[in-house]
Structure 1
Amino acid sequence: MSTVLSAATIHDVIAANSVHSVFQPIVDLTTGVVVAYEALARGPVGSLHRPDDLFAAARAAGVLAELDQACRAAAFRGAIEHSLVAPLTLFVNVEPEVLDTAPLSDLLALADGAPGDLRVVVEITERALAARPAELLRTVARIREIGWGVALDDVGADAMSLAFMPLLRPDVVKLDLRLVQERPGPAVAQIMNAVNAYAQSTGAWILAEGLEDEQHLMTARALGARLGQGWMFGRPASPPPPALAVGQLPLLDPVVTVAPQDTSPFAVLPTGTELRRSPKPLLIEVSKQLEREAMRLGDTCVVASTFQEARHFTPATRSRYLDLADRVGFVAAFGEDLPTVPVPGVRGATLAPEDPVRGEWDVVVLAPHFAVALLARDLGDQGPDTERMFEYALTYDRDTVIAAAHSLLSRVVPRTAEPVLRGDVVPAPPRRTVTPAPVHRGGLRGAEDLLERALSATTNGVTIADMSRPDHPLIYVNAAFEVLSGLRSEEVLGRNCRFLQGPDTDSSVVDSIRSAIAAGEEWRGVVLNHRGPGRTPWWNEIHLAPVLDGTGRVVQYIGVQNDVTDRVVAQRQVETERAKVREHVARIEQLAYTDPLTGLANRRRIEELVEAALWTARLGDTTVALLFCDLDGFKAVNDDLGHAAGDDLLVHVAGELRRSLRRGDLLARLGGDEFIVALTGLEVATAAETAVQVAATLVERLSRPVRLGSGEVSVGASIGVATYPRQGETFAGLLRAADHDMYRVKDTHRGAR
C-alpha cells in the first residue's frame, strides 16, 4: 500500500524548487524531424517522484495552484537549459482545477529571458471541459493574448472534447493513446471524422500519442495524424536525447471568434443581419426543433439556452431538458433566479437583472459538423405572455454561433460538487503506482495490524486478485465482502470473481470491465451481481484499481465494492415516472397538433414541419413547394346531405390526399374544407413544374364521384401553388402566396363555367 503523504512534504518540495521536468520529443510524421518537446513534471526521487503522487499531495494540502506554477517554471528552466528554443516548440500543461488562477503571465519574463525565442503550447485536458467551462475559455483567451498556442489533450477519451473543440480552436489536437493502441470501432470513426473535419477547416495539427511500434504508427497516419509522440521516438528524459534534425511547428493565426462575458449572444450578430419579428409561440416551436436537432447530434453537441426568468423553465421544459442532458454532451440553461443546476445534468447560472442576457431568448446548438443559433431580443410588450413579441435572427454562420456559445458558457458557474451521474459509470481518478504487499489466503502477510483491522472493519467489501496467475484468482477478501457475496472466504478464495455474475448481468458492462483490466486501467461502475447459494440479485458498485510493481507491470487488482441496490431501484422508479410524464406530455402535444376529424396535422403542426423542411432546404440544394387546396361544392354537400355526410367526405378527401403523396411529403387540414400539402426535397430547377403537375393530379383524383350512404356526390378542388424561395421564404409567406394563387384558380374555374 502507498504511504500517506503529509502536507509538509509537498510544501518542502515546492519551497525547495525540487520539481524538475523531463522532455519527450514530438515528431513530424511526414518529414521525421523533431518539431517540439513535451515537458513532463517529476518530483524528487522518492514517494513524490511521480506526477500523480505530486498532484495528489498538493490537492490534499491545498497548494495545487502553487505546484502547477512550479511545474511550468521547471519546464521553462529545463527548456532554456537544454536549448529547446525556436524553431522548436515547448508543450506544457495547465492543471484544470486552477485554470482561472493559473499565473501564466508571470512566466513571460522567464520566457523572454531565454537565449532565443521560446515558443510555447499550453496543453488543456478534457477534465476541465464540463467542470469549469467559463474558466477554461478565459484561460484560452489569456494564452492567446500572451502569444502562446493551445493543445487539446486526450481527445477521444470522452466525446465532450469533440463538443468543445470548435469553441477552444486548439492549434494541436492530441488523440488519446487508446485510439492508436486499441481496435477501431464506431467511436473511433466518430472521433476521426470530427477531428479531421476540424483540422481541414482550420489547419490545426493532429498529434497521436502512445506510438510504440510500426503498427501504432500506421494507425496514427490512417487516423490523419501529422505529429507523433511515444516511446518509438524517445522516452521522457532530462536532458532529452539529441535530435538528428529539428523543424518548426507552425501554429494557427490568432483569429478571435469569441465574445467577452459582458456581451450578450444577440449582440454578437454581425452588423446588417436581417432581423424578423415573431410572437412567443413560434419561438417556442423553433426552440423545440433546435433541441430535437441537438438530440440527433448526440454527445458531441453543446446546447446553451436562456429563459429570461425561472418561471419560464416550466415542467414541460424540465422534461425536455432531462432528455437533452441524457443524450447531449453539454447542456447549459440561464435565467434570473434559475438554479446553477436546473435539472440533473444541466449546468447554468442565475442572471442578474442588469445582465443583457436577461432580455433575450437564445438557443445555441454547436457540434463538429453543425452550428445554429436562435438569437432573439424581447421587445418589452406588456400584454399577455403568449402574445409577447421578439426581434430575432436564426443564424447558421459558424463564427457567430461560436461567439454566441462563448458568451453564454462564460457565465457558467464552476462545478464544485461531484458531477451528476449519467447512468452508473463515474470517472476514475488518475492511476498511480502502488507497491504491492505480499498476500495470502485470508490476510496480508507482513502488513501492519492496524491496516488488517481497518480492512476487516470497513463496511465496503475489499478484494485482491492476483493478475500474475492464470484466471486471476482472488487471494484476499475482507469480512464485508463475505456479507456482500453471501459466501465464506474459503468458498471464494482461489476463484475468479465472475462467480458473482448471472445470466441477467449486463454483458456490455462485463466487457467494459474486461477491457479496462486488459488495458491495466481503473474502472468504476455498477453491475448486477448475485448473492449466496440462492443467487439473490443485488446491485454492486465497484471500483477496481490496478497495483503495479517497480517495472510498471500490473500484478494485482484491488476491488472496493458496495451494495447500492436501494439506490438503483429508487433511480429506476424515478426513471419510470419520468417516462410516464414524457408519455403524457407527448399525448397532450399530439392532441394539440392533430386535427381530430381526419387525423392529419393541424395548422400549428404543419407550420413547424414546413419550417423544418425550409431549414433543410437552406442547408442543401433542394427546395419546397406549398399547395393550398380548397374544395369546390363542399357547402352544397353539407346543405343537402347534412354535416355528418360532410365529415365523411372530408375523411375521404384526407385519405385520397395521403395515398396520392410521397412518403416524405407533408399534409395537414387547416380547417373547414381547406388542406395544405408541402412537397419536400424538390429539385430547384423543376420544382414549380413538379408542383403544378402534382396539383393537377390531386384535382383529378378529388373530382371523382364519392359514395356517401346510398348515393354519390362529386366535388372539385382549386389548388394554389407557391415555391421556396421565389414566392416566400417562410411558412407564412408561402401560405399567403399559395392562398392567393388558389383564389386565382378558383376565379378561373368560375369564369370557365
Structure 2
Amino acid sequence: MEPTRSGWNPHDEPDALIPRVLAERAVSPLYQPIVDLATGTVAGAEALARGPAGSSVEFPDALFAAAARTGLLPLVDQLCAARAIEVARDAPDGAPPLLFVNAEPAALSHPFTPELVDAINSERPYRIVLEFTERALASHPAALLTIASQVHQTDGALALDDVGADPLSLAFLPLVEPEVVKLDMHLLRDPHARHTVETAAVVGAYAERCGAVVLAEGIETEEDLATARALGARWGQGWLFGRPGPLGAVSGLPVHRSARLRSPRPGLHLPSGTPFSVASARHHSRVGDQRTVDGLTEYLLSLASGSGPYTLVLGAYPDPEVGRSWLPRLVPAAGTAAFAGIVGPSLAGPDPRPVRVVPVTGPGDAETALAVVSPQGTAALCVRPGPGGSVDFVLTHDPDLVHAVARMVLWRMGSAAGRGVSPTDHRWDSTVAAAR
C-alpha cells in the first residue's frame, strides 16, 4: 500500500511514529453525542481520539499502546485532550453544553503541558468533564485526587467511567465524588444479574445523596434504552443516538439547553489540616485511654469485615508499634474489601497482602487515623496523644467527614509512594513533605 497524501504509511512501525505524532500534533478528535433520555436532546459529547488517517496508529488502541511502549503515553494523552478542547472551542456551529474528555491513568501524575493548560484556560462555550476509569483509582489514587481538585478549580466536572466493571469503581465512588457516573455497557446486557442490581442500587444511592447524574453507555436498541431507564440512568450514550463522528454532526442535533451539573467544589478532594483537626472542628473530641482506642479500632475493623466487596479501609499510624498491632486485625477485613491500605513508619517484613503498606521516611506524625468507607457502613476514628498518657479522639459516622478523613489518608499514601502530585497549598503534616 502506498503512503497517504500526508505521508503517513500504514506499514510504518507504530512506535517510531509517536514522536512525529507529538511534533505535528497529528491527532484528530471524533465526538459522540450524550443524550438526555427524557427529552432525546443532546446534553453533551464525548471526545474520542484518532491518530493520523491511514497510519498504523490511526485507531486509539494502536495509538495508546505505541505511546505506552515508548514512554510517551502522558504526552500523547494530553495532546488528545488539548485537541479535543480546541476543535470544540473553535467549531463554527458551536458545541454542546458539556464536553467529556478522557484521561489515561498514566497521564494523571504527569504535569500538564503548556498546550493543554492554554486550552483549559481559554474562553469556551462549554464545560469540560474529565472522564477516567477505575484503572486510575487503583494505580494513581492520590494523583487522581489532586487532578480532581484542579479540575474543580477550573470550573470543570468529573465523570467516572465503566462503573460496575470492577469493585474498585464503586468503592472509590464516594471519595472521588464525580458529577457523572457512567454505567458500564455490560450491565445493560444482563440487567437482572445480582451484580447489575447491586451496582445500580449503590450508584442510585450515591446519586441521590450527591446530586450526580447517572449515564448508561452502550445503548444500541430501544430495549437497551428501556433497560437504561430501569437502572436509573438519566442520560445515555450509544449507537442508537449516534456513532462517533465530526462535531458538526452532533451540533446539528437538538440541544438540551438546561443540561447542568453540580457546581464545582475546589476544596473537596484535598481538605486542609489533619484528620483530627478536621474531625474535631465538626464534632467535640473525647478523652480516653489506649484501651478505649483499641476497642474502637476493633469496632471499625469488624464493620469493615462485614461490609462487602465495595469497602475501603484506609489508615495512618504514628509509629511502627501501632502499625504492627494493626496488621493481624486488618488482613481478615482486607480479604473481603475492595482496597485496604495503611501508611506510616516502615514496618519490618514483607508487605502483608492483601493490605497495602506504604512506608514513609522522615519525622513521624503523632496522629492516628482509621477510616472505613462502604455502602453498608461508614466510620472514622481520629486520635492524638493527650496529657498524662491519655488520648483525645473523635469517632464519627458522618459520611462527608469520614470521606474527608479517607481522602487525606489516601493522598498521604500516594505522596509517600511517590505517586502524588504536589498540591499548591499545605497538606497534612511534615511527613508528606519529607516523602516528596
TM-score using structure 2 length:
0.86
Alpha-carbon RMSD across the aligned residues, in angstroms, is 2.6
The whole-number CA distance in structure 1 between the counterparts of 2:76 and 2:309 is 33
**2:119 equivalent to 1:118:** no
What does 1:140-539 correspond to in 2, within 5 Å? 140-242=148-250, 243-248=252-257, 249-255=259-265, 258=268, 260=270, 263-271=273-281, 273-314=283-324, 317-338=326-347, 342-354=351-363, 358-379=365-386, 381=388, 388-413=389-414
Partner SS for 1:100: coil
**CA 1:341/1:214 → structure 2, altered by over 3 Å: closer, same or farther?**
farther
Q: 2:91 aligns with which of 59, 82, 85?
A: 82
Query: 1:80: Cα distance to partner?
Result: 2.7
Query: 1:306: Cα distance to partner?
Result: 2.4
Query: 1:342: Cα distance to partner?
Result: 3.8
Q: 1:97 aligns with which of 106, 126, 136?
A: 106
Query: 1:240: Cα distance to partner?
Result: 4.5
**CA 1:180/1:4 → structure 2, altered by over 3 Å: closer, same or farther?**
farther
C-alpha deviations, 1:42-81, integer Å up to 9, x for none? 1122321111111110111111111011101221232134
C-alpha deviations, 1:397-449, integer Å up to 9, x for none? 122111111110001238999xxxxxxxxxxxxxxxxxxxxxxxxxxxxxxxx
**CA 1:11/1:154 → structure 2, altered by over 3 Å: closer, same or farther?**
same
The whole-number CA distance in structure 1 between the counterparts of 2:240 and 2:349 is 46
The whole-number CA distance in structure 2 between the counterparts of 1:60 and 1:416 is 23
Q: Which shifted more, 261-270 or 30-39?
A: 261-270
Partner SS for 1:52: helix
Q: Verify the 8 A CA contact 1:359 1:377 in the aligned structure 2.
A: yes
Q: Which shifted more, 268-277 or 139-148?
A: 268-277
Q: Verify the 8 A CA contact 1:302 1:365 in the aligned structure 2.
A: yes
**CA 1:260/1:416 → structure 2, altered by over 3 Å: closer, same or farther?**
closer
The whole-number CA distance in structure 2 between the counterparts of 1:88 and 1:259 is 25
In the alignment, what sits opposite 1:14? 22
The whole-number CA distance in structure 2 between the counterparts of 1:8 and 1:211 is 37
In the alignment, what sits opposite 2:427? none
- Could you tell me which runs of 5 or more consecutive residues in structure 2 were left unpaired when the two chains were aligned: 1-9, 419-436
What does 1:720-731 correspond to in 2, within 5 Å? none
Query: 1:108: Cα distance to partner?
Result: 4.7
Q: Verify the 8 A CA contact 2:12 2:56 in the aligned structure 1.
A: no
Partner SS for 1:299: coil
Matched to 2:187, the amino acid is L
Matched to 1:399, the amino acid is D
C-alpha deviations, 1:17-37, integer Å up to 9, x for none? 211111000000011101101
Matched to 2:374, the amino acid is A
**CA 1:397/1:105 → structure 2, altered by over 3 Å: closer, same or farther?**
farther
Matched to 1:252, the amino acid is R
The whole-number CA distance in structure 1 between the counterparts of 2:23 and 2:297 is 54
Of structures 1 and 2, the one with the larger relative CO (CA 8 A, separation 6+) is 2
Partner SS for 1:334: strand
In the alignment, what sits opposite 1:28? 36
Partner SS for 2:264: coil
Matched to 1:297, the amino acid is S
Query: 1:187: Cα distance to partner?
Result: 0.9
**CA 1:159/1:148 → structure 2, altered by over 3 Å: closer, same or farther?**
same
- Could you tell me which runs of 5 or more consecutive residues in structure 1 were left unpaired when the two chains were aligned: 382-387, 418-753
Q: Verify the 8 A CA contact 1:132 1:415 in the aligned structure 2.
A: no
Structure with more strand by fraction: 1
Q: Verify the 8 A CA contact 1:211 1:232 in the aligned structure 2.
A: yes
Q: Which shifted more, 316-325 or 180-189?
A: 316-325
Q: 2:51 aligns with which of 22, 43, 46?
A: 43
Query: 1:226: Cα distance to partner?
Result: 0.4
**CA 1:104/1:266 → structure 2, altered by over 3 Å: closer, same or farther?**
farther
Matched to 2:87, the amino acid is G
The whole-number CA distance in structure 2 between the counterparts of 1:255 and 1:230 is 30
Query: 1:159: Cα distance to partner?
Result: 1.3
The whole-number CA distance in structure 2 between the counterparts of 1:260 and 1:145 is 12
**CA 1:224/1:336 → structure 2, altered by over 3 Å: closer, same or farther?**
same
**CA 1:163/1:192 → structure 2, altered by over 3 Å: closer, same or farther?**
same
The whole-number CA distance in structure 2 between the counterparts of 1:176 and 1:31 is 22
The whole-number CA distance in structure 2 between the counterparts of 1:415 and 1:330 is 17
Partner SS for 1:41: strand
The whole-number CA distance in structure 2 between the counterparts of 1:139 and 1:207 is 22
The whole-number CA distance in structure 1 between the counterparts of 2:349 and 2:357 is 5
**CA 1:121/1:102 → structure 2, altered by over 3 Å: closer, same or farther?**
farther
Partner SS for 1:250: coil
C-alpha deviations, 1:368-389, integer Å up to 9, x for none? 35321111112265xxxxxx42
Larger Rg: 1
Query: 1:88: Cα distance to partner?
Result: 1.9
Query: 1:84: Cα distance to partner?
Result: 7.0
What does 1:576-615 correspond to in 2, within 5 Å? none
Matched to 1:90, the amino acid is L
Matched to 2:100, the amino acid is F
In the alignment, what sits opposite 2:118? 109
**CA 1:283/1:24 → structure 2, altered by over 3 Å: closer, same or farther?**
same
**CA 1:325/1:220 → structure 2, altered by over 3 Å: closer, same or farther?**
same
The whole-number CA distance in structure 1 between the counterparts of 2:349 and 2:95 is 45
Query: 1:172: Cα distance to partner?
Result: 0.4
Q: Verify the 8 A CA contact 1:342 1:348 in the aligned structure 2.
A: yes
The percent identity for this pair of structures is: 35
Partner SS for 1:345: coil
Query: 1:255: Cα distance to partner?
Result: 3.2
In the alignment, what sits opposite 2:426? none
The whole-number CA distance in structure 2 between the counterparts of 1:159 and 1:25 is 28
Partner SS for 1:150: strand
The whole-number CA distance in structure 2 between the counterparts of 1:39 and 1:239 is 9
The whole-number CA distance in structure 2 between the counterparts of 1:102 and 1:367 is 32
The whole-number CA distance in structure 2 between the counterparts of 1:256 and 1:378 is 32
Q: Verify the 8 A CA contact 1:25 1:36 in the aligned structure 2.
A: yes
